[in-house]
Amino acid sequence: MSDRALRIAAATVALAGVAVAGYLTLVHFEDEALVCVAGGGCETVQESEYAEIAGIPVALLGLGAYLVMLGLLVWDTAHARLAASVVALVGLLFSLYLLALQLFVIEAVCVWCLANDVVIAPLLAVLTVLRLRS
Amino acid sequence: MPSYEQGRVLRRATAVPKAPRRTDRHTSRRMAAKTPRQQDRPSGRKVVLAFGIAIVAAAALVVVALVGRSDSSPPATETPVVDLAGIPQDGRVLGSAEAAVTLVEWADVQCPACRTYTEKFFPTLVTEYVRPGTVDTEFRGFPFLGEDSVKAYRFLLAAAEQDKLWDLQEALYRNQGAENEGWVTDELIRDLAAGIDGLDVDQLFVDAEREDIVAEAAGARTVGEEAGILGTPTLQIGIGDEEPYEIRIATVDELRAALDDALDG
């Protein structure tokens, strides 16, 4: 796969991440549309005490991280590729922690949060390949 | 016509600059193959350091998240969201027995969305439809979020025995705590119940331990699931003896429109 194709793939996945994190941020601030769903519990998770860190919504942190990764992909120097991989690794590790919270503490799984996990894992993989090629 | 000498000069003048241009193009192609700029490439030590920082940063983020986690439930509200005095109650139903339309609310006292419904939608329902007697509203518990939900529902069912379910549920929502943190204490319920006119607090606690009420609260989630309830609050409109149908609303105006529709038949 060419360098250009990898960058396009990474940018596409990062854009999907922006969409997912953007939606979760909107839901976090939009309280009138809330529904607690049995077995899904998206909004239960979003309303839990773990949904914010020092007053900042976790979803907003995710949105910021995806935008930073997109910016670094556009910049595309070797250092930018390394930085993008680092941000993606932090994102993946933190997503694993959030997944553990959903499964074992809140006991409600958020479908959109799982969508985020589906995005961040391949993004890290593609960014790592890009980084190794630079 | 140019002379031989002039021709050589002309050929030289046209040919000579071409050679370096070709060389430049090849060089730039070779450079392009090395993107991103190889002179920019971080050393192996830097890479290891960067990924080490990533792991430490993620761990720090988790620690900050655990230490600094905030109770996201809003503070308790002192004043009732709406005055229920003088409105007839019969068990789980609030409103006139003559009402043509029933709004069924499936709810969990721990659910923040149900609190939002009670604070932002319920007052309009009561003031514009229930008090005038055109609509009544029925509470059906769907305590799916945890132990606090089931315990709260036991007390709501006990309050229903004294036709005070709606007063207690409104007071509980105003004092909603963090999910499954044990906020539904006997002390809280005793305090809230003491503030409800006509509610015998001691009888409430006796009824909350009754075998049939304990069993009903414990099995309510299953009953809801069998009725197709997926989450809370779920609102259904019942007209006469017809099977209730679900409505989805995002604004108070949408609630009004759904009720007006039902009243118009």
CATH of the domain at B254: 3.40.30.10
What are the angstrom distances between the C-alpha of A98 and each of A51, A71, B119? Answer: 9, 25, 30
**Backbone dihedral region of B142: left (phi > 0), alpha (psi from -120 to 50 degrees) or beta?**
beta
> Chain B: residue nearest A94 by CA?
B58
> Chain B: residue nearest A93 by CA?
B58
Query: Is the domain of B147 the same as that of B24?
Result: no
- Give residue-wise pLDDT tens across range B217-252: 999 999 999 999 988 999 999 998 888 999 988 889
CA nearest neighbour of A134 among A78, A82, A79, A93: A78
Minimal C-alpha gap between B19 and chain A (Å)? 30
Residues 6+ apart with CB under 8 A from B233: A35, B105, B106, B107, B111, B113, B114, B117
Across the range A31-50, mean pLDDT stands at: 58
Tokens 């007071």 locate to: B171
Predicted local distance difference test score (pLDDT) of residue B220: 97
Query: Is the domain of B3 the same as that of B132?
Result: no
Query: Is the domain of B8 the same as that of B95?
Result: no
* C-alpha to C-alpha distance for B165 and B171, rounded to whole angstroms: 10
Predicted local distance difference test score (pLDDT) of residue B9: 41
Whether B72 shows a pLDDT value over 60: the answer reads: no
Query: Is the domain of B23 the same as that of B146?
Result: no
Predicted local distance difference test score (pLDDT) of residue A123: 84
The gap from C-alpha B87 to its chain's centroid, in whole angstroms, comes to 30
What residues of chain A lie within 8 A of the CB of B57, using their CB?
90
Supply the range of the domain harboring residue B14.
1-35
What residues of chain B lie within 8 A of the CB of A37, using their CB?
230-231
Whether B26 shows a pLDDT value over 50: the answer reads: no
Q: Judge whether A66 and A14 are in contact, CB under 8 Å.
A: yes
Question: What is the interface size between A and B, counted as CB pairs within 8 Å?
Answer: 128
* C-alpha to C-alpha distance for A66 and A69, rounded to whole angstroms: 5
Whether A33 shows a pLDDT value over 80: the answer reads: no
Where is pLDDT greater, at B34 or A4? A4
Whether B92 shows a pLDDT value over 90: the answer reads: yes
Structural domains of chain B, count: 2
Query: Is the domain of B117 the same as that of B212?
Result: yes
Residue A94 forms contact with B (CB below 8 Å):
yes
In a domain? residue B249: yes
What residues of chain B lie within 8 A of the CB of A107, using their CB?
146
In a domain? residue B51: no
In a domain? residue B83: no
Whether B22 shows a pLDDT value over 60: the answer reads: no
What residues of chain A lie within 8 A of the CB of B59, using their CB?
93
CA nearest neighbour of A52 among B178, B28, B87: B178
* Domains of chain A with bracketed CATH: 3-133 (1.20.1440.130)
> Chain B: residue nearest A48 by CA?
B72
* C-alpha to C-alpha distance for A95 and A17, rounded to whole angstroms: 12
In a domain? residue B191: yes
In a domain? residue B57: no
Of A39, A78, A89, nearest to B42 by CB-CB distance is A78
pTM of the model: 0.62
Whether A111 shows a pLDDT value over 80: the answer reads: no
Residue A68 forms contact with B (CB below 8 Å):
no
* C-alpha to C-alpha distance for A2 and B244, rounded to whole angstroms: 59
Four-residue CA torsion sign, B240, B153, B157, B169: negative
Residue B34 forms contact with A (CB below 8 Å):
no
Centre a 10 Å sphere on the Cβ of residue B25 and count the other Cβ atoms it contains: 10
Tokens of residue A18, six digits: 């922006």
Most confident of A35-39, B32-36, B240-244: B240-244
Residue B72 forms contact with A (CB below 8 Å):
yes
Q: A33 and B144 in contact by Cβ < 8 A?
A: no
In a domain? residue B49: no
Query: Is the domain of B136 the same as that of B249?
Result: yes
Query: Is the domain of B31 the same as that of B147?
Result: no
In a domain? residue B165: yes
Query: Is the domain of B2 the same as that of B117?
Result: no
Residue B49 forms contact with A (CB below 8 Å):
no
Predicted local distance difference test score (pLDDT) of residue B173: 94
Whether B2 shows a pLDDT value over 70: the answer reads: no
In a domain? residue B62: no
Query: Is the domain of B23 the same as that of B147?
Result: no
Q: B251 and A89 in contact by Cβ < 8 A?
A: no
CA nearest neighbour of A69 among A13, A25, A116, A4: A13
Predicted local distance difference test score (pLDDT) of residue B161: 98
Whether B3 shows a pLDDT value over 50: the answer reads: no
Can you tell me the ipTM of this complex?
A: 0.73
Minimal C-alpha gap between A63 and chain B (Å)? 16
Residues 6+ apart with CB under 8 A from B249: B121, B235, B255, B258
Predicted local distance difference test score (pLDDT) of residue A38: 64
- Give residue-wise pLDDT tens across range B147-189: 999 999 999 999 999 999 999 999 999 999 877 889 999 999 9
Of A77, A86, A93, nearest to B53 by CB-CB distance is A86
Query: Is the domain of B135 the same as that of B249?
Result: yes
Of B144, B179, B250, nearest to A33 by CB-CB distance is B250
Query: Is the domain of B101 the same as that of B203?
Result: yes
